[in-house]
């Protein structure tokens, strides 16, 4: 064994990790934070505000794309960005689980058409690296409709690529008091079922025509 190899075996590595963003209330001003599962970096500014220019740029790009699609589809109504109480975005979502189960999304009264835009990134694990993939994941969307006190459910199924270009119609349903989006579930692409994969949700936008 060479001296260099012997020295390498003796080295004890000491690593420093940035504070997790979930512990932002414990961070000091000007301290760096990180999303432990997404790699997103944040900083707590001199004024004590936690921010990330990467996430701001991503949100603007997501909004621009959602607007482009809405205009292409003839959706000229109001657009809303959805925040989930149970998730700080960007965040991991699990396959086959309803990731808004505790955060039903209220659709504005009088909605005739709804367009969803899900900014989701899927990646597979190759060795110890993440590689972005574009699978044809099936998406299940369920709305709860209150019709004069009677509750009905409307379900839409499509793949992830198509759901962002699908206008969901409600104009043929009478006596609607309220509409809630209660379920969004994304399935793993069964074609590549052997791959180790994960999904990160960046943004949800909803456009409503009345």
Tens of pLDDT, residues 92-116? 899 999 999 888 999 988 899 999 9
pTM of this structure: 0.80
- pLDDT higher than threshold 70 for residue 13: no
DSSP secondary structure string for all residues of the chain: --HHHHHHHHPPP----PEEGGGGGGPPTT-EEE-TTT--EEEE-TTS-EE-HHHHHHHHHHHHHHHHHHHHTT--SEEEE---TT--SSEEE-TTS-TTTT-PEEEPTT-SEEEEEEEEEEEEEETTEEEEE----EEEEEEEEEETTEEEEEEEEEEHHHHTT-EEE-TT--S--EEEEEEEEE---GGGTTS-EEEEEEEEEEEEE-
Residue with the bigger pLDDT between 135 and 58: it is 58
Q: What percent of the chain has pLDDT over 90?
A: 52
Tell me which residue of 27, 23, 26, 46 sits closest to 35, measured CA to CA: 23
Mean pLDDT of the chain: 87
Check whether 4 has a pLDDT greater than 70. no
How many percent of the chain have pLDDT more than 70?
91
Which residue ranges make up each domain of the chain?
Answer: 3-44, 56-209
Is the model's pLDDT at 6 over the cut of 90?
no
Identify the sign of the CA torsion 75, 61, 98, 122.
positive
């Amino acid at each position: 064994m060479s001296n260099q190899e012997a020295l390498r075996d003796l080295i004890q590595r000491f690593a420093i990790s940035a504070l997790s963003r979930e512990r932002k209330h414990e961070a000091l001003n000007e301290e760096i934070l990180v999303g432990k599962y997404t790699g997103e970096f944040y900083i707590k500014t001199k004024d004590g505000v936690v921010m990330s220019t990467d996430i701001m740029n991503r949100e603007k790009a997501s909004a621009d794309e959602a607007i482009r699609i809405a205009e292409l589809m003839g959706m000229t109504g109001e657009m809303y960005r959805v925040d989930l109480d149970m998730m700080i975005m960007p965040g991991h979502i699990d396959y086959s689980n309803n990731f808004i189960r505790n955060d039903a999304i209220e659709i504005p009264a009088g909605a005739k058409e709804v367009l969803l835009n899900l900014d989701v990134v899927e990646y597979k694990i190759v060795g110890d690296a993440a590689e972005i993939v574009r699978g044809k994941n099936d998406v299940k969307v369920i709305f709860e409709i209150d019709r004069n006190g009677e509750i009905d459910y409307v379900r839409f199924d499509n793949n992830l690529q198509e759901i962002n270009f699908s206008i969901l119609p409600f104009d043929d349903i009478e006596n609607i008091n309220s509409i809630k989006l209660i379920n969004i579930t994304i399935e793993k692409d069964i074609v590549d079922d052997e791959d180790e994969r994960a999904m990160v949700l960046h943004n949800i936008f909803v456009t409503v025509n009345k």
